[in-house]
Amino acid sequence: MGVYLRPRALDEALESLAGRALTPLAGGTDVYPAHAHQAAWNGAPDIDILDISALDELRGIVEDEAGWRLGALTTWSEAIEAVASGRLPACFEGLARAARTVGGVQIQNRGTLAGNLCNASPAADGVPPLLSLDAEVELASLAGRRRLPLAEFVLGNRQTARRADELLVALHVPRPQPWAHATFLKLGARRYLVISIVMVAAVLEAADGRVARARVAVGSCSAAAQRLAALEAALVGQPCDGSLADAVEPAHLAVLSPIDDVRGSAGYRQEAALTLVRRALNELDGHRREAAA
C-alpha cells in the first residue's frame, strides 16, 4: 500500500516531493478514473499520493498591472464565476466557455485548470484557451521557481516539462490591449461530457477597427494543442468589417497533424478545424463591429 500525504503548507509539500516520486492530487477527476478503473471500483488507487488540495497558497485569483495570476487550485466553476462576475475580463470568455463544457457541473466543481494542463491530454479543453491567452505556468520546487510559456510546458500526449520534484503553483495571463474578446468552439458527439473531436480558441485584439493581434489555438488535432502562427500573422492589420473569416486559408492549418480514431478521421478533423477557426473569427469580428456601432 502506498503513501498518502496531505500537507497544509507548500514548503512541506515541496520537501516531500524532493524526497520521492509522488503523484500530485488536486481535484482527482483525472487521477481517480484512470487508476480506479484498473483496480475495479473499490480498490482506490494504489499509488503514492501527494494531495495538494489543502494548500491554501495555491488558491485564488489576483490581478496586478501585468495581468492575472490564477492559483493552481482554481476550479472550472471558479473560473466561470470569475468571468460571470467581471473579476476576469472579456478576454477570458473563451476559457469560461471551455469550462462550461467540461464534464458537467460536479466535475467543474472539483476539477482544476492546472490539473487539466498537467494531465496533458491532447483533448484537454483548457489548453487551447490558455494558449490563446499566452498563459505561463509557474512551477515551484525546493530548488526555486521558474516560469514557462504554456506551449513549452505541454509537450505532447500526457507529456509535460514538469520535473518530478515540481508542483505547478499558478497560471499567469498577461494583460491584452483594451479591446480584447475571446471565444471557444468545441466539436464533440454532443456538447458536454465527451472527448472533443476538435476545439478552437481565439483571442482577438482590435484598435481603430483593425486587428491589432489575433491568437488562435486548435486542440485535438495534434499531440499537443497548437497556435496557428501563420494565420495570426496574416490577420494583423485586417479590417474588422465582417470579412475576417475569409482571410483563413487551409495552408494556415498545416501545422496540425490530426489522427484517425473512433471519434473521427484525420481528414474530417482537418476540415472541421478549418470551419471552426472561420466561425470563431467571424464571431469575434461581429463583436468588434457591435462594439464600434
Partner 1 sequence: MLTVTMTVNGQKVAKDVDPRTLLVQFLREQLNLTGTHVGCDTSQCGACVVLVDGKSMKACTMLAAQADGCEVTTIEGLAKNGELHPMQAAFKEHHGLQCGFCTPGMIISAVDLLQQNPDPSEHEIREWLEGNICRCTGYHNIVKAIQHAAQDMRS
Ligand X SMILES: Cc1cc2nc3c(=O)[nH]c(=O)nc-3n(C[C@H](O)[C@H](O)[C@H](O)COP(=O)(O)OP(=O)(O)OC[C@H]3O[C@@H](n4cnc5c(N)ncnc54)[C@H](O)[C@@H]3O)c2cc1C
Shortest gap between Cβ of 28 and partner 1 (angstroms)?
A: 5
Which of the ranges 9-17, 104-112, 154-162, 196-204 carries the binding residues for partner 1, by CB under 8 A? 104-112
Binding partner selected for residue 106 from partner 1, ligand X, none, CB under the kind-specific 5 to 8 Å limit: partner 1
Binding partner selected for residue 72 from ligand X, partner 1, none, CB under the kind-specific 5 to 8 Å limit: ligand X
Among 9, 60, 66, 104, binds partner 1 (CB under 8 A): 104
Residue 58 CA, chain-centre distance (Å), reads 17
Q: In angstroms, what CA-CA distances link 157 with 9, 219, 236, 238? A: 31, 12, 31, 35
| Residue 129 touching partner 1 (CB under 8 A) | no
Shortest gap between Cβ of 5 and ligand X (angstroms)?
A: 13
> Is residue 169 within 8 Å of residue 57, measured between CB atoms?
yes
Among 23, 53, 222, 282, binds partner 1 (CB under 8 A): 53
Nearer to partner 1, 109 or 238 (CB): 109
Q: In angstroms, what CA-CA distances link 125 with 37, 185, 186? A: 22, 10, 8
Binding partner selected for residue 208 from ligand X, partner 1, none, CB under the kind-specific 5 to 8 Å limit: none
**Nearest residue relative to ligand X (C-beta):** 115
Shortest gap between Cβ of 101 and ligand X (angstroms)?
A: 6
| Residue 193 touching partner 1 (CB under 8 A) | yes
The three cell numbers of residue 159 are 507529456
Shortest gap between Cβ of 273 and partner 1 (angstroms)?
A: 25
Among 27, 71, 126, 188, binds partner 1 (CB under 8 A): 27
| CA separation for the pair 90, 109 (Å, rounded) | 22
Residues engaged in binding ligand X (CB under 6 A)? 23-31, 33, 52, 72, 101-103, 107, 110-112, 114-116, 118-119, 124-126, 162, 167-168, 193
Binding partner selected for residue 274 from ligand X, partner 1, none, CB under the kind-specific 5 to 8 Å limit: none
Binding partner selected for residue 89 from ligand X, partner 1, none, CB under the kind-specific 5 to 8 Å limit: none
| CA separation for the pair 155, 121 (Å, rounded) | 10
| CA separation for the pair 240, 173 (Å, rounded) | 25
> Is residue 211 within 8 Å of residue 174, measured between CB atoms?
no
| CA separation for the pair 225, 94 (Å, rounded) | 15
Nearer to partner 1, 29 or 160 (CB): 29
Binding partner selected for residue 293 from ligand X, partner 1, none, CB under the kind-specific 5 to 8 Å limit: none
| Residue 40 touching partner 1 (CB under 8 A) | yes
Among 24, 45, 128, 176, binds partner 1 (CB under 8 A): 45
Contacting positions for partner 1 (CB under 8 A): 1-2, 4, 6, 27-29, 32-33, 36-37, 40-42, 44-46, 49, 51, 53, 77, 103-107, 109-110, 192-193
